[in-house]
Amino acid sequence: MTKLDKLLGEINRKHVYIQTHNFPDPDAIASAYGLQRLLELRGVRATICYKGKIDRYSTGKLVEIIGIELLNVDELEKVLSDDDEVILVDSQKGNANIIDITGDEIICIDHHPDNDLFEYRFRDIRPEIGACATMIAQYFFENNVPMDRKIATALTYGIRIDTNNLNRGVSRLDVEMLYRMYDDCDYTVISMLENSILCFEDLVAYSRAISSIEVHDDISFADTGRDCPVIADISDFMLALKEVTFSVVYSVKDGGIKLSVRSEGTALDAGKVIGRALTGIGNGGGHASMAGGFVPFDGDAQEKAALLEDIKRRFITQIQEMRSTL
């Protein structure tokens, strides 16, 4: 029995909701879309939903070009019931980057470290995999389910983005899935998406980050300004500096401060660093090379400045402590 067979065996309704993490990225949306199409081929209708907004330009283009239909959970408040079945993709219940919507979270498919906080009827959590889209692609191939050009293109883009074109946290399965989808993928669309990733407002965020950067030994800190949609890209950008081996980038959003961190080597695990650094004030986690977190906050400018200084101290202290044990 394949993972897909087990997953389908735990669904009791003819319609389910597929929920991504808040402010979904290409991997989350591609995974949700691939799973939606797969379920429909097996007789189960699915609605994709998310909280926040699709704030990256390239992510919006992916949705537009492929024709992916998805709804903000705010539009579903009067529709959802406790009996509705929900499948989580690219996140897990209890994580800081996903809200608890009305319904029963019966299934979780994710490639981030298992938070081990909740039970599901079916769980497929594999932190060794570079992208959630890889796992969805595997469902297609191991069950000999035909994959059309739109599905292959979306899943390919999700994998390429989350693994930084196979340069970050990549596994053999990521490479295999890209290879097997190659002939069915529209690389003209992939090229267009990868070459049109920024808009002018994103450049302003880069400018703010560059002007605010602080480097302590080989740890960089940068402020991208409010509601930055490309915080992860800027964190990658900062890590490219030869003086930097660990990057911390933050952006103020409604209700708190979002952080994106990157680590050059696996010896200094980004997920463990942010998780420990934010203990008591927020939540964080992820992979060895890339991770994210959120610190709830609703104060004035002076309090924000004090909090950011505390966050910097926490990261520096945690990294020093972890390095002392290497």
DSSP E strands in 119-209: the ranges are 122-125
Residues 30 and 61 occupy one common structural domain:
yes
Residues 295 and 313 occupy one common structural domain:
yes
Residues 254 and 172 occupy one common structural domain:
no
Residues 33 and 128 occupy one common structural domain:
yes
Residues 109 and 182 occupy one common structural domain:
yes
Q: 310 or 300: which carries more pLDDT confidence? A: 310
Quick one: which of 99, 91, 83 has its CA closest to 16?
83
Q: From CA 243, how far away is CA 213, in angstroms rounded?
A: 12
* pLDDT-above-90 percentage for the chain: 83
Is residue 31 a contact partner of residue 109, using CB atoms and an 8 Å limit?
yes
Q: Which helix (H) or strand (E) holds 318?
A: helix 301-324
Q: Which amino acid is at 29?
A: I
Give the other-Cβ count within 10 Å of 81's Cβ.
8
pLDDT given at position 58:
87
Q: Which helix (H) or strand (E) holds 319?
A: helix 301-324
Q: From CA 93, how far away is CA 63, in angstroms rounded?
A: 25
Could you give the strand order of the β-sheet that contains 70-72, starting from the edge strand earlier in sequence? 70-72, 45-50, 15-19, 85-89, 104-110, 122-125
Q: Is the pLDDT of residue 306 over 90?
A: yes
Going by their DSSP bridges, the two strands 214-216 and 219-226 should be labelled as antiparallel
Residues 25 and 138 occupy one common structural domain:
yes
Q: From CA 188, how far away is CA 6, in angstroms rounded?
A: 36
Q: Among 35-49, 165-179, 282-296, where is mean pLDDT lowest?
A: 282-296
For residue 99, the domain's CATH number is: 3.90.1640.10
Residues 178 and 83 occupy one common structural domain:
yes
Domain boundary among the residues 170, 195, 220 is at 195
Residues 47 and 149 occupy one common structural domain:
yes
Q: Please, is 228 exposed, middle or buried when counting C-beta atoms within 10 Å of its C-beta (0-12, 13-18, 19+)?
A: buried
Q: How confident is the model at residue 117 (pLDDT cuts 50, 70, 90)?
A: confident
Q: From CA 134, how far away is CA 277, in angstroms rounded?
A: 30
For residue 222, the domain's CATH number is: 3.10.310.40
DSSP assignment, residue 124? E
| Cα-based angle 96, 101, 103 (whole degrees, multiple of 5) | 135
3-class SS shares of the chain: helix, strand, coil, % to 5: 40, 20, 35
* pLDDT-above-70 percentage for the chain: 100
Q: Is the pLDDT of residue 266 over 80?
A: no
Residues 205 and 160 occupy one common structural domain:
no
pLDDT given at position 230:
92
> What is the overall mean pLDDT for the chain?
94
> How many domains does one find in the chain?
2
Domain boundary among the residues 169, 195, 221 is at 195
In tens, the pLDDT along 223-255 reads 999 989 999 999 999 999 999 999 999 999 888
Q: From CA 48, how far away is CA 71, in angstroms rounded?
A: 6
Residues 106 and 219 occupy one common structural domain:
no
Domain boundary among the residues 195, 212, 241 is at 195
Q: How confident is the model at residue 77 (pLDDT cuts 50, 70, 90)?
A: confident
Quote the domain boundaries for residue 98. Answer: 3-195
Q: What is the mean pLDDT of residues 79-85?
A: 95
Residues 218 and 319 occupy one common structural domain:
yes
Residues 7 and 115 occupy one common structural domain:
yes
In tens, the pLDDT along 8-19 reads 999 999 999 999
